[in-house]
Amino acid sequence: MKKGNAGGKQLRVLSLLPGASDIVRALDAVKLLVGRTHECDWPELQSLPACTSNKLGDMPPAEVDQAMGACSSAMPTLGWAGATPALLEMGLSPYRTDLDLLARLKPDVILTQMQGLGPELSPDHYLAALEALLGYRPAVVQLDALELQGVWKDMRAVAEGLRLGSKGADTIKGLQARLAAASAAARGRQHPRVVVVQWSDPLFAAGGWVPQLVEMAGARDMLGKVEEAVTFTPQQLADAKPDVVAFALCGFSLADSQQLAQQAMQQLVATGGGAVAAALEHARIIVTDGLHVFSRPGPWLVQSLEVLVEALHGEAQGYGHEGRLWAPLEGRGRGAATAAVT
C-alpha cells in the first residue's frame, strides 16, 4: 500500500465532493489538492483538473429521481460482476468519475461519498477496484454524515486524513461558534411552522441536518426528519399548516429553483384542491440556492443557518444573503409570514 507523505513528500489529495473541497479550504489545505469535482466553485480551485461530470444530464426532477434509483439498483450487479471500471466510474462519487484522469493524478488520499453502499456492497468493493486501477490502495475518506454530529465527525476525519493535527478541532470549534451566534439571533422570537422541500417531484421534505438547523433558527420543522428525507403528499402539506414553505431544491441554482418552485406550487394546487390552495395562500414561500444552502455539509452550513434566520426573522438580523442565497418566490411578495403560534 502506498503511503502518503512518505519521505516528507506532500500529500496528493483528490476531492470528489464539493462539500469535501469546502472542508479542505476551511482547513487551509487547498495546496494539497490535485483534483476536484466539476461542482467545486471556489475561484482558487478552478485551475485544478475536474475529475467528475454530471452523469444524468439535464433532466426534470421526476426523471432525475428515477435515474438515481436505477443507478443505485445497478451498483450491486456491478460489484458482483467485478466490473471494476463501471463500479468506480458510477459509484465512487455521486457523479461520473474520469478514471483515466484519476489514475494520472496518483492521489494519496481520496475524499468521497461512495454511492450504492448497502447490504450488498462494502467499501472494500470500491477499494479493491481502486487498487486494481492504480496499482496501490490510496487512503479513502468517505463522508457519510446524516446529521450535524456526523458533519463534525466527517470534518475530523478529513483533517486526520490530511494529517493536519489539531486544525480540524479548531476549525470545527470556530464553525460551531458561528452557528451558535446565528441561532442566538433568533432566540426569544416567534416559532414559525416550516416545511422545507428538498425535492419537488416526487415531493420530499428535507432530512439530514436540515431539521436541526430549522430548530436552531427558532422554527418548527413540520414534515422533516433528522437523517432521513421523507416523501409527503399535498394533503400532508395542507395539514401541516405551514407559516413558511422553503423550496431548498438540492443541486439547483437559485434561478432554476425559482422556476421549479413555481411549477411545484401549480402542481400542488392542481392535485391538492382547496385545502392545499388555502394553506399555500396563507404561507410565505421562499426559495434557496440549492447548490450551496443545506446541500453541502461542512462550512456552508453556517450560511445555511444564517439564511434561515434572515428569512424567518428578518427584523432580527440581516446577513446580506437575500437575493444571492435565498429569495421570496417570484410573484408572491414578501408577505407577513411570522404569524406563528409560539
pLDDT digits (tens, 9 = 90+) for 51-90: 998 866 666 666 566 655 656 665 555 555 555 677 787 7
Same domain for 205 and 99, yes or no, is no
**pLDDT surpasses 70 at 240:** yes
Strand partners, 36: 50
- Tell me if 335 is assigned to some domain: no
Pick 175 or 190 by higher pLDDT. 175
Confidence of residue 271 (pLDDT cuts 50, 70, 90): confident
Q: Are 94 and 17 in contact (CB under 8 A)?
A: yes
Give CA–CA dist 194/33, Å, rounded: 39
Same domain for 228 and 303, yes or no, is yes
Least confident of 91-95, 138-142, 252-256, 301-305: 91-95
> Tell me, what DSSP letter sits at residue 2?
P
Say what the pLDDT of residue 179 is: 96
Mean pLDDT of all residues in 221-239: 94
Range of the domain at 320: 190-328
Please give the helix or strand (H or E) that residue 287 lies within, else none: strand 284-288
Say what the pLDDT of residue 334 is: 43
The count of other CB atoms within 10 Å of the CB of residue 117 is: 19
Say what the pLDDT of residue 6 is: 44
Q: Are 236 and 223 in contact (CB under 8 A)?
A: yes
Long-range pairs of 83-87 with CB within 8 A, sequence gap ≥ 24: 84/129, 84/132, 84/133, 85/133, 87/125, 87/126, 87/129
Same domain for 248 and 140, yes or no, is no
Mean pLDDT of all residues in 130-152: 94
Confidence of residue 117 (pLDDT cuts 50, 70, 90): low
Q: Are 233 and 220 in contact (CB under 8 A)?
A: no
**pLDDT surpasses 90 at 104:** yes
Residue 302, φ and ψ in degrees, nearest 5: -65, -50
Mean pLDDT of all residues in 44-48: 97
- Tell me if 161 is assigned to some domain: no
Mean pLDDT of all residues in 208-231: 95
**pLDDT surpasses 60 at 111:** yes
**pLDDT surpasses 50 at 218:** yes
Same domain for 21 and 111, yes or no, is yes
Confidence of residue 4 (pLDDT cuts 50, 70, 90): very low
Say what the pLDDT of residue 245 is: 97
- Tell me if 1 is assigned to some domain: no
Same domain for 47 and 133, yes or no, is yes
**pLDDT surpasses 60 at 317:** yes
- Tell me if 290 is assigned to some domain: yes
Confidence of residue 336 (pLDDT cuts 50, 70, 90): very low
Mean pLDDT of all residues in 187-195: 90
Q: Are 295 and 213 in contact (CB under 8 A)?
A: no
Say what the pLDDT of residue 71 is: 62
> Tell me, what DSSP letter sits at residue 107?
-
Same domain for 197 and 313, yes or no, is yes
Q: What separation in angstroms does the CA of 181 have from each of 175, 303, 309?
A: 10, 12, 11
Same domain for 201 and 280, yes or no, is yes
Say what the pLDDT of residue 79 is: 53
**pLDDT surpasses 80 at 9:** yes
Residue 63, SS3 per DSSP: helix
The count of other CB atoms within 10 Å of the CB of residue 241 is: 15
Same domain for 215 and 95, yes or no, is no
- Tell me if 342 is assigned to some domain: no
- Tell me if 313 is assigned to some domain: yes
- Tell me if 158 is assigned to some domain: no
What is the domain count for the chain?
2
